[in-house]
Amino acid sequence: MRLIKGKPVSHGYAIGNVYIYKSFSCDTFESYFEKDQECGRIEQYEKAVELANEELDEMISLLQDNNDDKYKIFVAHQEILHDEEIDEQIRNLILTNHAMPDYAVDKTFSFFAVILSKAKDPLIAARAADLRDVRNRLIRVLHGEKEKNLSILANDVIVVAHDLLPSDTATLDRTRVLGIVTEVGGETSHSAIIARGYKIPAVLGVPEATAIFSDGEKCIVDAIEGTVYMRPNDTTIQTFTEKHAQYLKELQEVEKYLTTEPKLASGERISLGINVASAEASDEYKYCDFVGLLRTEFLYMQSDTLPSEDVQYKSYLSVIRNAKGKPITLRTLDIGGDKTLKYLELPHEDNPFLGKRALRLCLDNPGIFNTQLRAALRASAEGEIWLMFPMVGTIDDIRNARKAVEHAKAELYNEGIPYDENIKIGIMIEIPAIAQICDLAVKEVDFASVGTNDLTQYTHAVDRMNSSITDYYQSFSPAMFRLLENIISTFNKAGKPISICGEMGGDPLAMLVLVGLGLRKTSMSGSNIAKMKHMLSCFSLQETKEIASKVINMATQQEILEFLNEVLIRAKSKTD
Ligand code: PEP
Ligand code: MG
Mutating to test ligand 1, I would choose from 188, 278, 391 the residue with most ligand atoms within 8 A of its C-beta, which is 188
Q: Does 219 qualify as catalytic in the annotation?
A: no
| Rounded percentage of the chain residues whose pLDDT exceeds 90 | 70
- 9 vs 413, more confident: 413
What are the b/e assignments for 8-42, b being 16+ CB within 10 Å?
A: bbbbbbbbbebbbbebeebebeeeebeeeeeeebb
Q: What is the spatial distance between Cα 213 and Cα 510, in angstroms, rounded to a whole number?
A: 36
pLDDT digits (tens, 9 = 90+) for 20-69: 998 777 788 899 999 889 999 999 999 999 999 998 998 888 778 877 77
Average pLDDT over residues 462-490: 93
Atom of ligand 1 nearest to the CA of 188: 8
Rounded distance from Cα 453 to ligand 1 centre (Å): 5
Pairing of strands 2-5, 177-182: unpaired
CB within 8 Å of 50: residues ≥ 6 apart:
none
* Nearest partner of 337 among 434, 465, 430, 435, judged by Cα: 465
- Identify the active-site residue in 77, 190, 460, 534: 190
Beta-carbon count within 10 A of 83 CB? 15
- Dist. CA 228–CA 221, nearest whole Å: 5
- Compute the distance from residue 357 Cα to the ligand 2 centre, in Å: 10
77 classed as catalytic: no
Q: What is the pTM of this model?
A: 0.78
Residues with CB under 6 A from ligand 1: 193, 293, 295, 334, 430, 451-454, 501-502
- Give the pLDDT band (50/70/90) at residue 440: very high
For ion ligand 2, residues whose CB falls within 5 Å: 430, 451, 454
Q: Averaged over 165-171, what is the pLDDT?
A: 67
Q: Which pLDDT tens digit goes with each residue over 272-304? A: 999 998 898 899 999 999 999 999 998 888 777
User: Given CA atoms 475, 478, 483, 489 in this order, what sign does their dihedral have?
Assistant: positive
pLDDT 10s digits, 510-540: 999 999 999 999 999 998 999 999 999 999 9
Identify the pLDDT of residue 167. Answer: 61
For residue 556, the model assigns a pLDDT of 98
Which tens digit of pLDDT belongs to each residue from 538-570? Answer: 999 999 999 999 999 999 999 999 999 999 888
Identify the nearest ligand to the CA of 455 by its number: 1
